Structure 1
Amino acid sequence: MATAKLKAAPSAEEATGGGAKKPKKKILVIAGAVLLLLAAAAAAYFLLFAGGGEAEEPAPEPGAVATLDAITINLSDGHFLKLKLALQATAEVAEAPDGSKALDLAIDQFSNKPVDELSSDKARNLAKQELLEKIEKAYEGEIMDIYFTEFVMQ
């Protein structure tokens, strides 16, 4: 009698022709390409938008300080503010700046403010920063800082 040998069903690896390793390689290659693309995009972002692409403008050199006369500004509820300003010009400015614009901006900023809005250090520094921004704009880069040399409220 002839014995028939039963042949076992082919394994998954044999059925695909040993291709079970190829999809893993494809996935690794694709994942590597995606990671490389992400790294390139991140590098481009940091170079272009995070300051690495262009040199920052250097800070201006300080020049002369122009001290302005003290002014009295009416606050709300019958109070007043005696304010004396000094303007720090940049070194590029040949002559001392005219303080008229700065004083006018200070009057606009502080007029009719309640005393409690200017009493704390934090509030005063915030008001000073706002005034500095207005003055820098008005003087078109000729002024780099301001100083309160008197700030008395009553």
Structure 2
Amino acid sequence: MIGDSSKKIGNSRPAPTASADPAEGAAPTRKGRGKKLLIMIAVAVLAGAGAGYWLFLRPAPAEPTAEEAEIAAEEAAAAELGAVQPVEPISINLADGHYLRLGLGLQLTIAVVEDVDVSKAVDRAIALFSMRPVEEVGSAEGREALKAELATQLEEAYEGEIVDVYFTTYVTQ
């Protein structure tokens, strides 16, 4: 027993024997192949189902709220800004013998390639500010409200060529 090399310590399994039947040795390989094939088919079906859901059944993105749409419109307009065309300061008579010295900057769109005729802007500014009380014209709230109204009027008068207006000179006396 000591010299017997067929028995090794820790080797309790019998040595494999060659089988005369080739189907008997191939059976475990076919079972392993079948399981792998079944797993691959299942993965392909799941991937196809996921792709089908993504393409056809996923929910549509939510409609933007009015606030989000307004912000997007402002960002789009800001991206399309062109030059600012200055308007020479003018003096406008206010109520009670006061006057306003008003200079404007007209924010043009990028589509406008040459200067616009500023006479419409001057006319609208005179019509809007004339004979207003100095208290209204001099307060921050009044000035912002008048500026917003003037910008709206200029957008309409210039048919979208002007998107905003800036006060470059604003002095009351």
**Normalised by the size of structure 1, how large is the TM-score?**
0.63
**Normalised by the size of structure 2, how large is the TM-score?**
0.57
Determine the C-alpha separation between the residues in 1 that align with 2:155 and 2:106: 10
Shift of 1:152: 0.4
* Number of the residue aligned with 2:122: 103
Determine the C-alpha separation between the residues in 1 that align with 2:107 and 2:136: 26
Structure 2 residues not aligned, in runs of 5+:
1-58
Determine the C-alpha separation between the residues in 2 that align with 1:62 and 1:112: 33
Q: Aligned partner of 2:163: which letter?
A: M
Determine the C-alpha separation between the residues in 1 that align with 2:65 and 2:136: 37
> Per-residue displacement from partner, 1:81-137 (whole Å, max 9, x unpaired)?
000001010000111111110000000000000001111111101100000000000
Determine the C-alpha separation between the residues in 2 that align with 1:64 and 1:97: 11
* Number of the residue aligned with 1:145: 164
Matched, 1:89 2:108: yes
Tell me which of 128, 141, 152 is aligned to 1:133. 152
Q: Aligned partner of 1:77: which letter?
A: D
Q: Aligned partner of 1:129: which letter?
A: A
Determine the C-alpha separation between the residues in 1 that align with 2:65 and 2:88: 43
Tell me which of 54, 64, 67 is aligned to 2:86. 67
Tell me which of 126, 131, 148 is aligned to 1:112. 131
* Number of the residue aligned with 2:24: none
* Bigger-Rg structure (1/2): 2
Aligned-residue CA RMSD (Å)? 2.2
* Number of the residue aligned with 1:79: 98
Which secondary structure does the structure 1 equivalent of 2:138 belong to? coil
Determine the C-alpha separation between the residues in 2 that align with 1:110 and 1:59: 27
> Per-residue displacement from partner, 1:25-52 (whole Å, max 9, x unpaired)?
xxxxxxxxxxxxxxxxxx9xx74x946x
Which secondary structure does the structure 2 equivalent of 1:92 belong to? coil
Q: Aligned partner of 2:161: which letter?
A: E
* Count of paired positions: 107
Q: Whose helix proportion is higher, 1 or 2? A: 2
Determine the C-alpha separation between the residues in 2 that align with 1:84 and 1:152: 9
